[in-house]
Amino acid sequence: MNPAPFQPGTALYLHVPFCASSCDFCSFYQEQPKRGDLDRYLDAIERELALHPPGPVETAFWGGGTPGLLPADDLRRLGHAMTRAAGQPSEWSVELAPSSVRADKLAALKEIGVTRVSMGVQSFDDVTLDALGRRHSPKQIMDAWELIEAAGFASRNLDLIFAIPGQDERRWTEDLRRAVALRPDHLSTYCLTFEEDTAMFVKLSQGKVKIDRELEARLYRGTWEQLEALGYAQYETSNFARPGHACRHNLITWEMGSWIGYGPSAASQWGARRWTNPANLDQWIQGIEAGKPVLEQVKDLTPADLLSDALVFGLRLNAGVDPAALAARFATDLPTAVDTLFRDLAAEGLLEADGRTIRLTGEGRMRADAVGVAILERFD
């Protein structure tokens, strides 16, 4: 299937499925890094990009797995294959794990044009890291950050997780303090979710760990207040940035732009269609080698699909959305039931209006997932 022609606000996602070990909370598709599989993966990515080049894209994001696990020469090879097919994106992010950061790899990333690195710290506390099943140490975090700073990327992000079993407000506040002390340009703070088929979900189902919703709410509020006071503007429920450092790639997805995914398990929304590549290295490679990529969960998008998702994800942004403008953009009417929902949310103090723009209040952002479900139900 050929992707649609280039259009403004396009993004490329490339999934590198290799990880040295699986963390207890992680549900992303990953494989142990064996040299033979690495070579097969690189060959297939080059062919997939050549089979369906997207044309110039605005942003690129390499996720995983652990893209930084690849040796420097492999990173160069992957980068050159991508830029041949998609040009040089203005923002190019790569995820790194502290234990995989090396000076030669960072030099390779700079050489191919990467502008932004995102390091998955999760916590600076040994006990908390152990509860997550992470394999890096606080010392490895600091050593890796020194190398990243020396490399001089235009933008640097740290990922943190809160509401981890055994983590109280004091430990989380200390994690935030240590993260801010490193002066990253961007911070992503995620509440721990218990995804099926993860070790953490098994522990939850066995009663070994519990979810504390009241603690989660306090940590959410405390995070927003602390980071705002320290100069990090919240622009999405879980994301904070210094001026000029909001992640454009993620904004494209939240604003219902177009993105195309390469590699096993990568998802795409392109040309009014969504699909996912198989989350299986062999199945993905076989399709590429046959010249007929295997696509799963294929869905042709109606204007109503795009409008409903644009509202759901747009309301996670602090800037909010203009429902009338989105309805015009997707050439479909806003359902009366959705308009009524917005009025009800405003009456409850969960939503506020500024002219034609609506946005969730602080309390509304605490219930963003429930608001999203309510919107989708009213499109049914």
Q: Classify burial at 152, counting beta carbons within 10 Å of its beta carbon; exposed 0-12, middle 13-18, buried 19 or more.
A: exposed
Q: 33 pLDDT exceeds 70?
A: no
Residues 272-286 have a mean pLDDT of 95
Kindly tell me the number of DSSP H helices and DSSP E strands found in the chain: 15, 14
pLDDT of amino acid 204? 43
pLDDT confidence bin for 6, thresholds 50/70/90: very low
Quick check: 236 and 189 in contact, CB under 8 A? no
Cα 166 to chain center, whole Å? Answer: 25
DSSP string, 5-58: PP-SSEEEEEEE-B-SS--TT--S--B---HHHHHHHHHHHHHHHHHS---S-S
Domain 303-377 in CATH 2.60.40.420? The answer is no
CATH topology of domain 10-253: TIM Barrel (3.20.20)
Report the C-alpha gap between 136 and 141 in whole angstroms. 7
Q: Which of 94-98, 159-163, 165-169 has the lowest mean pLDDT?
A: 165-169
**pLDDT digit string (tens) for 283-330?**
999 999 999 999 999 999 999 999 999 999 999 999 999 999 999 999
Decide if pLDDT at 239 tops 60.
yes
| pLDDT tens-digit series, residues 124-144 | 988 878 777 767 788 999 999
Of all residues in the chain, what percent carry a pLDDT higher than 90?
75
Q: 127 is written with which tokens? A: 């006990």
Confirm if 113 and 92 have CB atoms less than 8 A apart: yes
Provide the residue ranges of all domains of the chain, joining segments of one domain with +: 10-253, 303-377
- Give residue 122's region: left, alpha or beta (phi > 0; psi -120 to 50): left
In sequence order, the 6+-apart residues with CB closer than 8 A to the CB of 45 are: 14, 78, 81, 262, 263
* pTM check: above 0.85: yes
pLDDT tens string 180-192: 999 999 999 998 7
Q: What is the pLDDT of residue 330?
A: 94
Distance CA 8, CA 277 (A): 24
Under the banding of pLDDT at 50, 70 and 90, the label for residue 380 is: confident
Average pLDDT over residues 17-37: 60
Q: How far is CA 71 from CA 58, 68, 104, 122, in A?
A: 26, 8, 9, 23
Most confident of 61-70, 169-178, 216-225, 341-350: 341-350
Q: What is the pLDDT of residue 132?
A: 73
End-to-end CA distance of the chain: give it in Å, rounded: 29
**The pLDDT of residue 23:** 44
